[in-house]
Chain A
Amino acid sequence: MTATTYREAVRTAHREALQRDSRVFLMGEDVGQYGGSYACTKGLLEEFGAERIRDTPLSEAGFVGAGIGAALAGMRPIVEIMTVNFSLLALDQIVNNAATIRHMSGGQFSIPLVIRMATGAGRQVAAQHSHSLECWYAHVPGIRVVAPATLADARGMLWTALEDPDPVVIFEHATLYSLEGELPDDARSVDIDRAAVLRPGHDVTLIAYSANVQKAMEAAQQLAAEKIDAEVIDLRSLRPLDDATIMASVRKTRRAVVVDEGWRSGSLAAEISARIMEQAFYDLDAPVGRVCSEEVPIPYPKHLEDAAVPQPEKIAAAVRALFGDHG
Chain B
Amino acid sequence: MTDHGDKVRLDREHLLHLMREMMRIRRFEERCVELYSGTKIRGFLHLYIGEEANAVGVMQALNPKDAVITTYREHGHALARGIAARPLMAEMYGKIEGTSRGRGGSMHVFDKATRFYGGNAIVAGGLPLAVGIALADKMRGERNVTACFFGDGATAEGVFHESLNLAALWKLPVMFVCENNRYAMGTAIERAESQIDLVRHAESYAIRAEAVDGMDVVAVEIAARRAASLVRETGEPYFLENRTYRFRAHSMYDPELYRTKAEVEEWKKRDPIPFLEAWMHNTGTLHSDDLPRLEAAIAAEIDDAVAFAEAGHWEPVEDLCRDVMTPPDMRKKEAAA
Flag whether A107 is at the interface (Cβ < 8 A): yes
CB within 8 Å for A97 and B120 given contacts A69-B128, A73-B132, A103-B103: yes
Q: Which of B99, B122, B324 contacts A92 (CB 8 A)?
A: B122
Flag whether B135 is at the interface (Cβ < 8 A): yes
| Residues 151 to 175 of chain B near chain A (Cβ within 8 Å) | 158-159, 162-163, 165-166, 169-170
Closest chain B residue, CB of each to CB of A98? B129
CB pair A102 B323 closer than 8 Å: yes
Question: Chain A contacts of B322 at CB under 8 A?
Answer: 107
Closest chain B residue, CB of each to CB of A60? B162
Q: How far is the CA of A129 from the CA of B125 in the complex (A)?
A: 26
CB pair A108 B136 closer than 8 Å: no
CB within 8 Å for A97 and B132 given contacts A62-B159, A102-B325, A106-B110: no
Flag whether B331 is at the interface (Cβ < 8 A): yes
CB within 8 Å for A109 and B326 given contacts A51-B139, A65-B131, A71-B132: no
Q: How far is the CA of A97 from the CA of B169 in the complex (A)?
A: 23
CB within 8 Å for A165 and B110 given contacts A61-B159, A103-B324: no
CB pair B104 A66 closer than 8 Å: no
CB pair A104 B110 closer than 8 Å: yes
Across the A-B interface, how many residue pairs have beta carbons closer than 8 Å? 156
Q: Which of B118, B129, B330 contacts A104 (CB 8 A)?
A: B118
CB distance from A50 to the nearest CB of B (A): 10
Flag whether A297 is at the interface (Cβ < 8 A): no
CB pair A104 B67 closer than 8 Å: no
CB pair A106 B133 closer than 8 Å: no
Question: Chain A contacts of B140 at CB under 8 A?
Answer: 74-75
Q: How far is the CA of A180 from the CA of B71 in the complex (A)?
A: 49
CB distance from B75 to the nearest CB of A (A): 16
Flag whether A112 is at the interface (Cβ < 8 A): yes
Question: Chain B contacts of A110 at CB under 8 A?
Answer: 326, 334
- Among B127, B130, B135, B163, the most chain A Cβ lie within 10 Å of the Cβ of B135
Question: Chain A contacts of B257 at CB under 8 A?
Answer: none
CB within 8 Å for A62 and B162 given contacts A102-B324, A105-B118: yes
CB pair A106 B103 closer than 8 Å: yes
Q: How far is the CA of A59 from the CA of B335 in the complex (A)?
A: 29
Q: How far is the CA of A101 from the CA of B103 in the complex (A)?
A: 10
CB within 8 Å for A97 and B133 given contacts A102-B325, A108-B112: no
CB pair A106 B323 closer than 8 Å: yes
CB pair B104 A105 closer than 8 Å: yes
Q: How far is the CA of A78 from the CA of B130 in the complex (A)?
A: 17
Q: Which of B100, B103, B111, B163 contacts A65 (CB 8 A)?
A: B163
Question: Chain A contacts of B163 at CB under 8 A?
Answer: 62, 65-66
Q: How far is the CA of A101 from the CA of B122 in the complex (A)?
A: 12
Flag whether B137 is at the interface (Cβ < 8 A): yes
CB pair A112 B132 closer than 8 Å: no
| Residues 75 to 120 of chain A near chain B (Cβ within 8 Å) | 75, 77, 92-93, 96-97, 101-110, 112
Flag whether B101 is at the interface (Cβ < 8 A): yes
| Residues 53 to 84 of chain B near chain A (Cβ within 8 Å) | 67, 69
Question: Chain A contacts of B321 at CB under 8 A?
Answer: 141
Q: Which of B100, B111, B128, B323 contacts A66 (CB 8 A)?
A: B128
Question: Chain B contacts of A243 at CB under 8 A?
Answer: none
Flag whether A263 is at the interface (Cβ < 8 A): no
CB pair B162 A57 closer than 8 Å: yes
Question: Chain A contacts of B132 at CB under 8 A?
Answer: 65-73, 77
Question: Chain B contacts of A232 at CB under 8 A?
Answer: none
Question: Chain B contacts of A164 at CB under 8 A?
Answer: 326, 331, 335
CB pair A163 B335 closer than 8 Å: yes
Question: Chain B contacts of A107 at CB under 8 A?
Answer: 101, 322-323
Flag whether B98 is at the interface (Cβ < 8 A): yes
Question: Chain B contacts of A64 at CB under 8 A?
Answer: 128
Q: How far is the CA of A104 from the CA of B133 in the complex (A)?
A: 18
Closest chain A residue, CB of each to CB of B113? A108
CB pair B125 A93 closer than 8 Å: yes
Q: How far is the CA of A163 from the CA of B125 in the complex (A)?
A: 26
CB pair B325 A166 closer than 8 Å: yes
Flag whether A33 is at the interface (Cβ < 8 A): no
Question: Chain B contacts of A109 at CB under 8 A?
Answer: 110, 112, 117-118
Flag whether A142 is at the interface (Cβ < 8 A): yes
Question: Chain A contacts of B246 at CB under 8 A?
Answer: none
Closest chain B residue, CB of each to CB of A167? B325
Q: How far is the CA of A110 from the CA of B112 in the complex (A)?
A: 11
CB pair A69 B324 closer than 8 Å: no
Flag whether B225 is at the interface (Cβ < 8 A): no
Question: Chain A contacts of B117 at CB under 8 A?
Answer: 69, 72, 109
CB pair A96 B103 closer than 8 Å: no
Question: Chain A contacts of B127 at CB under 8 A?
Answer: 65
CB distance from A94 to the nearest CB of B (A): 11
Question: Chain B contacts of A106 at CB under 8 A?
Answer: 98-104, 110, 323
CB pair B166 A165 closer than 8 Å: no
Flag whether B46 is at the interface (Cβ < 8 A): no
Q: How far is the CA of A75 from the CA of B142 in the complex (A)?
A: 13
Q: How far is the CA of A166 from the CA of B325 in the complex (A)?
A: 6
CB distance from B210 to the nearest CB of A (A): 24
Q: Which of A25, A61, A93, A103 contacts B139 (CB 8 A)?
A: A25
Pairs across A and B, CB under 8 Å, 14 listed: A56-B166, A57-B166, A65-B127, A65-B132, A66-B131, A68-B129, A93-B159, A97-B120, A103-B324, A105-B103, A106-B104, A108-B111, A141-B321, A165-B331
Known: A57-B162, A103-B324, A104-B103. 5 other contacts (CB 8 A): A61-B159, A106-B100, A110-B326, A141-B325, A165-B330
Q: Which B residues fall within an 8 A CB radius of A?
A: 67, 69, 98-104, 108, 110-112, 117-118, 120, 122, 125, 127-137, 139-140, 158-159, 162-163, 165-166, 169-170, 321-326, 330-331, 334-335
